[in-house]
Structure 1
Amino acid sequence: MTDAAPARPGRRANLLVALVSLLSVMLVLWFTVTSAAPSIPQPAAPTAEDAGAGRQAYWQLRDARGNKQGQLISLGQAQLAGLGAIASHGFRPDRLRLGIIGSELRVDASHQLPMKRWLNVVIVATASGKGFPSTRLKVGEWTLPPMLSRWALEIGRWYVKRRTEVPPLDGMVHDFSVKGGTVSAVVSLPGKMGLVDQMAGAISQDIDSSQVVKVYCELSARQKKEPSSDFAEQVRRAFSVDPAGASLPGFNRARFVALGMMLVSDRVGDFVETARDDIAKCRISPVPASIYGRYDWPKHWTLSAAIAVGAGVQLSEAVGEWKELSDSLAKQSQFAAGDPSGFSMTDLGADRSGFQTARAAADPERAAQMAQQLARARPEQLLPRELTVREESLTNPQFIQRYGGVDDPRFIARVREIDAVIANNGVR
């Protein structure tokens, strides 16, 4: 048997040229698709008006989730700006800006990449009859015509469809129009894969939905047998459920999601795609739990903890601030009974205590100790009493006069004081 003939010098040269050419193309694409800086300037922290308008927009989009018939959405400049402001704040350093220019909707997005590069994307949408709007997509320095833009969006839809059912583009958005400074369309969004879910999924850690169901059903059974409205008791019950050999940091995260489902809404299970069928056999109405006679603080604490483990601490922190900013304009808080309207430092203390406890309990080095402490936690450890005597019911002008904004040094110093109290007196 003879040895294979060695590669001829000409063939090696051709391979080298092909490799260099491919590398050159990749470098050109990298430096033309990405940029050295974001196209959107550093946004200011959201104001109360931004948070309120953003929440109005979210309520409309929420009604479109899982709605196969489609929901009519109508957003003005204020709602679009509010959505952009709170998204940029919650998912920083990424940035989002939405606005209406003439008869077009323009969406600018900047996403930070490795090697100090940025992916800058612009989408311009124009009415085009009954179906999906005509779009022009720009990625970096590349501007795509409407046909190629639609193909690119179809590729994005295909990517998402691998994880959940997604309507065709013409079913997702249709009857699109921009008139009189308002954009309107009939929108149908995937039930558990909205914008926030997609962005949060990029920064969250996996949570086993079966573990969430296990904790929730055990909490439900215990509540039916021994009803309790004591928040600390509900926490102790959650952290007394046997992990049965599961990874403790992951099981702790499941406990916080199950608590959110138990005390706030079973929709909290959306973080881990827990279907209602999974909990049908043990589902009960949310339990009104209280601490120091208040029924709103457990909701703040629990929801912030669930968001922290389901979507990241940064988002959980931002959501607490948005809620208080929005309430500074409202006559009635979204947490209703027992929760005064206006910006509340006590509510913010409950938010921060919740997500900081969740962050510690999900830390592999602290998971066991935190689980033991939470299994016998007292109210004073979950929400130190010192945090319950701070300012409440601040109107927006009062908040601005006293603290300026959520990026003002005075507000930041106040938050640090709250955090110091939690560090010294909370579960640890």
Structure 2
Amino acid sequence: MNFPEDFLHYVWQFKSFDFNELQTSDGAPLKIIHQGFLNKNSGPDFSNAKIQIGETVWAGNVEIHIKSSDWLKHNHQLDTSYENVVLHVVYDHDVEIKRIDGSVLPVLELKDRISNELINKYETLFLTLTDFPCIAQIRSVDRLIVDSFLSRTLIERYEEKTIAVFETLSELNGNWDETFYRFMAKNFGFKVNALPFELFAKAIPQNIYSKHKDNPLQIEALVFGSAGFLNNKFQEEYPAKLKKEFEFLQKKYKIKSVEVSVWKFMRMRPQNFPTIRLAQFAGLIVNSNHLFSKILEIKEVSNLRNLFENLPINEFWKTHYHFKKEVSGVSIQIGKTSIANILLNAVALFLFAYGKHTATQHYISRAIKLLESLPAEQNAITDKFYQAGVEMENAFASQGILQLKKQYCDKKKCLSCGIGIKILRQM
């Protein structure tokens, strides 16, 4: 026997055991009128069950353990929330259990009622050491079931992500524009320079830019200066002008620049250098200060992409990857893949979070519609599911897959997964 308590939850919930002549451990006839509802919070495992023992019908909770003695091990004998347990379902009944009031707790032992075939199926499927447990079986599951569960995991993923949004929102006294600005900056850094971009956004609040919205050079000076890139002497006119502007603005606003050493250039393609990303970020600010307010106003998700296209980026960056050396043929606009990444990880997230925070469903619907309009992500995780036969038509599905892998597959929570349950029942 090599299975967790979750397996017994599955067996009880789906009545996957021998019902012939059920009786309690002390020989009383037992009938399951309703097995109850699985409780994922604290307290007994199943609530609102209806059990007949002898001639008496009991309504209450059901608790499930591998061994009866687990009741004592988990200190349920000291917890009044377990006083309404009407049946203790166990695999192995090894000790008599009494409630706090001294009454003996009725027990149903399942050890001889679960088929070895079902146990072997579980061990074969869910104790595998592959990339994810059902890698060999998931292609056999009806697509409707897969898509339905991915819809659930997608919502779970975004609800988890909103926690960080709400924490920053609280820190910034409910300022949605400033909160979005910080998350947007972090996304401009992608994985490699996410932290430096986050530090940079904290060094210079968004409201400072609004005071210079009609002067692109000053906004660019604020961006590169706050990021720590204007501390050298420059021969070329553009960076020299930026340095001069920033020296004045830094004193005026008491800006403490980020240490330039935190920015990473190594093993990156030049078009992803942080200097190029900062030039694009400056162009975005010039184009759309208080960006989140504009995002909320846009009703058609197809128009959201326009906010990140054709940005007013200084001509200097067409011939430079950084301030040191002139090159040729630099692509300075944000690429389609990068825009999709920003729309997915910042825009859709904030539409979802704002909808949750304000209890406004149409913002949540716009977030979901946006995800459905974006291409599915391609990475090591989604590639494994593609190879296993899972179709992902858009980012809604791929985000659901990432949550499925993180919260279900990696944690072996197959019996809490709609896909895993379906596979076990059809094997």
TM-score normalised by L of structure 1: 0.24
Which has a greater percent of strand?
1
